[in-house]
Chain A
Amino acid sequence: MALVLKQPSVLPGFGLTLGFALFYFSLIVLIPLSGLIVKTTTLTWQQFWHTVTEPRAMASYQLTFGASFLGALINGFFGSVVAWVLVRYHFPGRSIVDALVDLPFALPTAVAGIALTAIYSSNGWIGSYLEPLGLKVAFTPLGVLVALTFIGLPFVVRTVQPVLQDLDKEVEEAATTLGANRWQTFRAVIVPELWPALLTGMAMAFARSVGEYGSVIFIAGNMPLKSEITPLLIMTKLEQYDYAGATALGVVMLVVSFVLALMINLIQWWSGRRHTAS
């Protein structure tokens, strides 16, 4: 009785809106998702372990997580440069570029997949220049990396950009009046401010890339053990009516997603705590 579940308020509609939101969300998201977990319990531990550690699955993890990680690193660096340039410099077409950064959010993944395949294949606009250098992108693991880099592109830019924007110019001036040169100011004053946002952005890009399906399958070549990502392996098992196998892999992916989401929340909590009174 002493537990106060809701603080009193004069505004109406709490029961109705929260009730509807919870009902709807449970129906569409929570119940179906928990179905996945329950379904796993019909597998024995041996079955589950065998499915998720067979060589084909292991190879797919390696590719999925490896390429996602590399993609996040690439985006970490270039995304920061893009955010910096968009906030700090003015150049022709800046606002168009700024708007287009969100394209991977808005563009259907299948479209991204076929477009990237077209330009990075051996007779494509970019692929035809890379081929003579011995670089094959389309239908190789490198293609997976290209697709995942595309998918993760906006995350770092969009997390770092507002931090840069809110950065107090006076703080940089203060560093200058204290004798710091530009590089010292950047390293000692600006980077520590950007760091949490950069980590968050990279973790978000990584999380998104790990689950990505649409843009990858066109460019990857999808060779088992070589260029097959985990979501595709789940798809393949489904098409073979191996629901148990698909479910086992699905649970692995789900656990990874939750761990990543938790990590992102932790980074944000940690960076938020640093700047508010404790």
Chain B
Amino acid sequence: MSTEIAARVRNEEWKASLTSESTLVRWTLIAIALGYLTLFLFVPLAAVFSEALKKGLAGYFASFQDPDTLAAIRLTFIAASLAVPLNLMFGVAAAWAIAKFEFVGKQILITLIDIPLAVSPVISGLIYVLLFGAQGWVGPWLAEHDIKIIFALPGIVLATTFVTVPFIARELIPLMQSQGREEEEAALTLGASGWQTFIRVTLPNIKWSLLYGVILCNARAMGEFGAVSVVSGHIRGLTNTLPLHVEILYNEYNAVGAFAVASLLTLLAIVTLVVKTVIERKSAPSRATQDAEWRMQPGSPS
């Protein structure tokens, strides 16, 4: 038996010398990669929870008793619950039009959808201030009719929506393009209506990407800082979302409170990543098997 193991080890070394690197190089590279990630990812992540629990569990949970914190949680949920469905409708509509039809200007539209990602969040907020602010174009008219957009909920929702517009569309477009339109055409020839085709044929094919798009969109909506910061006015208990509340607590030297709130947002981010990983495994079995094959390959570096 031990000779079997020895033989296998020799085989692995053999293979490694051909299309991989020596053990020393391999572990050096792994060490560099992990060192870098530790410095910039793992330590900050650990710091959030460590700082939040500095005064123990009691101190941690006390941070959530603050009515201003609860108001911030509520506002964040309201903003996300408006922005995400709007962007969901946009994402599905845009993906359907782009993936299932050929029309002039399609490529331009695909490029345009990414604009909100390319623009600085500060500018995303700025444009709404210029539009609806006191000195903005429609500002005087709004003031006349006593409608508040900037430094109020509508502004926060608008800025959040702007920043998260592309997320669901970006998940769906490449997937639906690669799936083509044969299945939908087949459904139509079998007598299904357009809506039935979408619900019974298209939707099952895109559900995992759709779900991930929604979750990512939600995480970004709840976590947006720069754009919301510009339009919110930072009125405690009224126009403060969770990320803005983190800033206020932090600037008031309430580190435990700031990190406790931050830990909520971090958990949200982690959940998002977990969902992403699970969905990737589910929706891309081909990649998983490819991975398995790679592992089955005798002597693949391990």
Contacts and interface: CB of A to CB of B under 8 A. Distances in A.
Nearest to B277: A99
B37 interface: yes
Nearest to A182: B21
A108 B265 contact: yes
A35 B138 CA distance: 11
Interface string B207-240: 0000000001001101111100110000000000
A176 B18 contact: yes
Contacts of A52: none
Contacts of B266: 107, 111
A107 B223 contact: yes
Contact of A82 (B33, B121, B161): B33
B131 interface: yes
Contact of B123 (A100, A169, A172, A253): A253
A20 B90 CA distance: 7
Contacts, number: 298
Contacts of A103: 41, 45, 269, 273
Question: B120, B121, B229: which has the most chain A beta carbons within 10 Å?
Answer: B120
A153 to B, nearest CB: 6
Interface stretch (A25-33, A53-61, A191-199, A270-278): A25-33
Contacts of A243: 129-130, 133, 135
A81 B127 contact: no
A125 interface: yes
Contact of A114 (B119, B123, B250, B270): B250
Contacts of B86: 24
Interface string B37-59: 10111111101100100000000
Question: Interface size class for chain B?
Answer: 35 or more
Interface residue SS majority, chain A: helix
A36 interface: yes
Interface in A121-151: 124-126, 146, 149-150
A89 B19 contact: no
A90 B301 contact: yes
A242 to B, nearest CB: 11
Contacts of B103: 5-7, 14, 18
Nearest to A177: B18
**What is the size category of the interface that chain A forms with chain B?**
35 or more
Interface in A253-270: 253-254, 257-258, 260-261, 265
Given A21-B97, A103-B269, A106-B273, A33 B119 contact: yes
A100 B41 contact: yes
A234 B226 CA distance: 11
A22, A29, A232: residue with the most chain B Cβ atoms closer than 10 Å = A29
Interface string B123-161: 100111111010101000000000000000000001001
A234 B243 CA distance: 20
B33 A150 contact: no
B206 interface: no
Contacts of A108: 222-225, 242-243, 246, 262, 265, 269
Contacts of A210: 120
B259 to A, nearest CB: 7
Classify the interface of chain B: helix, strand, loop or mixed: helix
A127 B236 CA distance: 32
A257 B97 contact: no
Given A29-B116, A110-B243, A246-B126, A6 B41 contact: no
Given A115-B262, A235-B229, A25 B113 contact: yes
A78 to B, nearest CB: 4
Given A36-B130, A81-B36, A214 B121 contact: yes
Interface in A66-122: 78, 81-82, 84-86, 88-91, 95, 97-112, 114-116, 118-119
B262 A9 contact: no
B262 A150 contact: no
Contacts of B116: 29
Interface stretch (B2-10, B24-32, B60-68): B24-32
B96 A260 contact: no
Contacts of A109: 121, 223, 225-226, 243
A115 B47 contact: yes
B93 A21 contact: yes
B199 interface: no
Given A32-B131, A119-B47, 9 more contacts: A11-B194, A18-B97, A32-B162, A84-B29, A106-B272, A108-B243, A114-B259, A169-B19, A234-B120
Name the 8 nearest CB pairs between A and B, nearest first. Answer: A211-B120, A108-B223, A12-B194, A214-B225, A213-B226, A18-B97, A21-B94, A106-B269
Interface of A: 3-7, 9-14, 16-18, 20-22, 24-25, 28-30, 32-33, 35-36, 39, 78, 81-82, 84-86, 88-91, 95, 97-112, 114-116, 118-119, 124-126, 146, 149-150, 153, 165, 169, 172-173, 176, 182, 185, 207, 210-214, 218, 231-232, 234-235, 238, 241, 243, 246-247, 250, 253-254, 257-258, 260-261, 265
10 contacts: A9-B100, A13-B194, A85-B34, A107-B265, A115-B262, A116-B44, A172-B19, A214-B121, A243-B129, A257-B119
